[in-house]
Structure 1
Amino acid sequence: MRKLIQEFLQEEKGIAVVGTARNGEDALTKIQLLRPDVLTMDVQMPVLNGLESLKKIMENQPLPVIMLASSTKEGAEDTLKAMDYGAVDFISKPSGTISLDLYKVKKELVEKVYAAAGAVPRKQDKFSSHPLIERSVKHQKNNKALQEQVSKNKENGQQFPLGVCKKVVLIGTSTGGPRALQKVISHLPWDFPAPVVIVQHMPAGFTQSLASRLHDISPLIVKEAEHEEKLQSGTVYIAPGGYHVSFSQSGHAVEIILTKEPPRAGHRPSIDVMLESAAKLKNIKKIVVIMTGMGTDGSKGLVQLTHRDLIGVIAEAKETCVVHGMPKAAVATGLVNEVIPLPLIAKKIVEYLEDEG
């Protein structure tokens, strides 16, 4: 696998492979000597595994790291940990731990190495706090009555009248998204009065782990979206990897529709597909949030939404993005109302909903 990756990257005129390492310990030594711009690293390695190596790299000499991971449940959980530790992105190995058919992800590998070269590596917990956010979270954690209500809501799986959807929050993100989503979703209040639908560019096998992780750290119910499931306020829906998310409406009842239509600009799920479908929802107010990610997904869908139905459009500020491509493209449409750093996005979403009444 190491030989295949080296060959794939050396075929690119704009990429020079300055070295390879047999294991995590070897990698730490060679990083010091060779000073690479980007590192690709397997989660599973001998001597010192990918997660432990990544921790040391981000503590001592942060650089953009792309992880290779298997789509098993354990592999997906390890990948999300890697994102927490500061990895820029990951690639799912096509056929398990030893994937000799890596040619299937060659194009993705090359694209992500180029994107990572311009990415800003973040140490763990960078931009994770802000005084306004900290006060809100502290209040929720220390309020026993709130905690009991959160537990009750999650046990019952229902908090608001079923089948009534008057507002919806639509979030799109890609490179750096799993970590960014933790900072937003965990800071939304337990009585959040709208459903949240998220498209995170991820392959099948990883989005369920992302949903579980967000559910554990959030006051809200967070789940992987299901076909023909009705949107429910106080619930966060993650688009499953490998499926587009669109919507079907009957009055104020809105259902999620999952499809296997061809990828859009290489993505399935696609933010554009979600927003284009949301544009057809009548008498339902929308908040759109475009966060860190490479490319332009979301900008075409954004222009389909009418000002009449938009409460607000938020783009993540460049200083907190791992890759600024998607928010930059959204801003270029002229439709973005707020460009704000990651720690303030949850607060701004709540403000929009409160102002709307």
Structure 2
Amino acid sequence: MSKRKILIIDDSAFTRKVLSTIIEEDGRLEIAGVAKNGKEGMEMALALDPDVISVDVEMPVMNGLTMIKELMSKKNFPIVVVSSLTKEGAAETIQALEYGAFDFVAKPSSLFGLKTEEVFAEYTEKVYAAAMSKKKSGELPERRTISLSKMVASPKTVDKSRIEKPAEKLVAIGTSTGGPKALPEVLTQLPVDFPAGILIVQHMPPGFTKSLADRLDQLSAIKVKEAEHGELIFQGTAYIAPGDRHLKVIEKYGKYYIELDDGPKKGAHKPAVDVMMSSLTKLPTGKVIAVIMTGMGSDGCDGIEELKRANRSYTITQDEASCVVYGMPRAVALKKLSDEVVPLSQIAKAIKTKLEVL
């Protein structure tokens, strides 16, 4: 198999050198070109047609966000964002993912951290996954606009704090690569009086999940927030696991509460979908809908299997055609654990339909 060609765009000469070295040491990848700002990078992308573009967000002349938005309007390139761990960097990364970036890697606070084995492995695997994804196409990308008319009421006019009914039914969602763009498709279709609590594990490092929650809250009629330890789970609210904690659900006196666990990673993940799903097997209820969406790997499959053995859930998986990466849903489907396979655009409808009979 021929090597996949990577275009690196970063204003830091040191970062360009380190990332180039990482690419060159991976036998599956090679450098297509190197650019020092978004304007230069966009010109090189259109001229060189690389398999993947690796881009920094904060750059002079033209920043990464502007470049991604303009480039994706011309041609659909798989893009991996290399982002800083600052609050601003996290918010910009979420926006880049909404614009169509494939995935991101958090840049360590010290640039020398780029040379660590963990960052090396994460970067190369995400770049290679992007290269192998079906996102490489000469056609214009699908540009979906989230319609507020789908909601019961616009989030700008809804007092989300007034919905204070403890949840009796739960929807547990697990996702990874492609999740930040897929989650709005689901959550914005849920009404303000949605009759269940929603738990979400999205594979992300610390700091980024708060920005994701804030962004989803702006878009959605339901309330969306980063989960906090010990809080009561309310219906009409979605709780996103923080980037450095496992999210579990516990029952006390007939009500459900969030438990954040600082235990070891499950597989390579913290938070892990498996940990969340496994915690649901201990609840005295069968009123659980488990949803597995786009993502690399198989996180969530073991937890779904536990839920099935305990007869504790109805499972919905995203179909292959609408996934950015058909990994996590595929693992569930291969074990025949999925009760319903639907495209991304129909997941919210499937959840609402099943909740009516739970």
TM-score (norm 2): 0.89
- In the alignment, the residues of structure 1 paired with residue 286 and residue 228 of structure 2 have an alpha-carbon distance, to the nearest angstrom, of 21
1:257 aligns with 2:239: no
Structure 2 matches for 1:4-15, cutoff 5 A? 4-15=18-29
Instruction: Using the TM superposition, give the Cα deviation of residue 298 of structure 1 relative to its aligned residue in structure 2, in angstroms.
Output: 0.6
- In the alignment, the residues of structure 1 paired with residue 31 and residue 62 of structure 2 have an alpha-carbon distance, to the nearest angstrom, of 22
Deviations 1:81-113, CA, capped at 9 Å, x for gaps: 1011110001111107xx232123111101111
Q: Which among 83, 92, 95 is matched to residue 78 of structure 1?
A: 92
Instruction: Using the TM superposition, give the Cα deviation of residue 349 of structure 1 relative to its aligned residue in structure 2, in angstroms.
Output: 0.3
Partner of 1:213: 215
- In the alignment, the residues of structure 2 paired with residue 348 and residue 57 of structure 1 have an alpha-carbon distance, to the nearest angstrom, of 34
Q: Is the 8 A contact 1:243 1:259 kept in 2?
A: yes
Instruction: Using the TM superposition, give the Cα deviation of residue 311 of structure 1 relative to its aligned residue in structure 2, in angstroms.
Output: 4.8
Instruction: Using the TM superposition, give the Cα deviation of residue 18 of structure 1 relative to its aligned residue in structure 2, in angstroms.
Output: 1.8
Q: Is the 8 A contact 2:308 2:337 kept in 1?
A: no
Q: Closer, same or farther in 2 for the Cα pair 1:149/1:182, shift >3 Å?
A: closer
Q: Is the 8 A contact 1:25 1:53 kept in 2?
A: yes
Deviations 1:217-238, CA, capped at 9 Å, x for gaps: 1111111000111111111000
Q: Which among 134, 152, 158 is matched to residue 151 of structure 1?
A: 158
Instruction: Using the TM superposition, give the Cα deviation of residue 140 of structure 1 relative to its aligned residue in structure 2, in angstroms.
Output: 3.8
Quick one: which amino acid aligns to residue 266 of structure 1?
A: A
Q: Which among 86, 95, 120 is matched to residue 106 of structure 1?
A: 120
Q: Closer, same or farther in 2 for the Cα pair 1:266/1:39, shift >3 Å?
A: same
- In the alignment, the residues of structure 2 paired with residue 95 and residue 257 of structure 1 have an alpha-carbon distance, to the nearest angstrom, of 29
Instruction: Using the TM superposition, give the Cα deviation of residue 138 of structure 1 relative to its aligned residue in structure 2, in angstroms.
Output: 2.5
Q: Which among 149, 153, 159 is matched to residue 138 of structure 1?
A: 149
Structure 2 residue ranges without an equivalent (≥5): 1-14
- In the alignment, the residues of structure 2 paired with residue 184 and residue 352 of structure 1 have an alpha-carbon distance, to the nearest angstrom, of 15
> Residue 307 of structure 2: SS of its match in structure 1?
coil
- In the alignment, the residues of structure 1 paired with residue 30 and residue 273 of structure 2 have an alpha-carbon distance, to the nearest angstrom, of 33
Instruction: Using the TM superposition, give the Cα deviation of residue 60 of structure 1 relative to its aligned residue in structure 2, in angstroms.
Output: 1.1
Instruction: Using the TM superposition, give the Cα deviation of residue 293 of structure 1 relative to its aligned residue in structure 2, in angstroms.
Output: 0.6
Instruction: Using the TM superposition, give the Cα deviation of residue 121 of structure 1 relative to its aligned residue in structure 2, in angstroms.
Output: 3.1
Q: Is the 8 A contact 1:150 1:220 kept in 2?
A: no
1:50 aligns with 2:64: yes
- In the alignment, the residues of structure 1 paired with residue 97 and residue 220 of structure 2 have an alpha-carbon distance, to the nearest angstrom, of 18
Q: Closer, same or farther in 2 for the Cα pair 1:321/1:118, shift >3 Å?
A: same
Q: Is the 8 A contact 2:247 2:276 kept in 1?
A: yes
1:245 aligns with 2:247: yes
Instruction: Using the TM superposition, give the Cα deviation of residue 306 of structure 1 relative to its aligned residue in structure 2, in angstroms.
Output: 3.1
Structure 1 residue ranges without an equivalent (≥5): none
Q: Which among 332, 337, 340 is matched to residue 338 of structure 1?
A: 340
Aligned residues: 339
> Residue 248 of structure 2: SS of its match in structure 1?
strand
Instruction: Using the TM superposition, give the Cα deviation of residue 34 of structure 1 relative to its aligned residue in structure 2, in angstroms.
Output: 2.2
- In the alignment, the residues of structure 1 paired with residue 245 and residue 150 of structure 2 have an alpha-carbon distance, to the nearest angstrom, of 37
Q: Closer, same or farther in 2 for the Cα pair 1:150/1:47, shift >3 Å?
A: closer
Quick one: which amino acid aligns to residue 280 of structure 1?
A: K
Q: Is the 8 A contact 2:150 2:188 kept in 1?
A: no
Partner of 2:3: none
Q: Closer, same or farther in 2 for the Cα pair 1:231/1:284, shift >3 Å?
A: farther
Deviations 1:52-72, CA, capped at 9 Å, x for gaps: 111122111211100011122
Larger RCO (CA under 8 A, 6+ residues apart): 1
- In the alignment, the residues of structure 2 paired with residue 243 and residue 261 of structure 1 have an alpha-carbon distance, to the nearest angstrom, of 8
| Sequence identity (%) | 42
Question: Where is the helix percentage greater, Structure 1 or Structure 2?
Answer: 1
- In the alignment, the residues of structure 2 paired with residue 126 and residue 242 of structure 1 have an alpha-carbon distance, to the nearest angstrom, of 32
Quick one: which amino acid aligns to residue 12 of structure 1?
A: D
Further displaced range: 24-33 or 43-52: 24-33
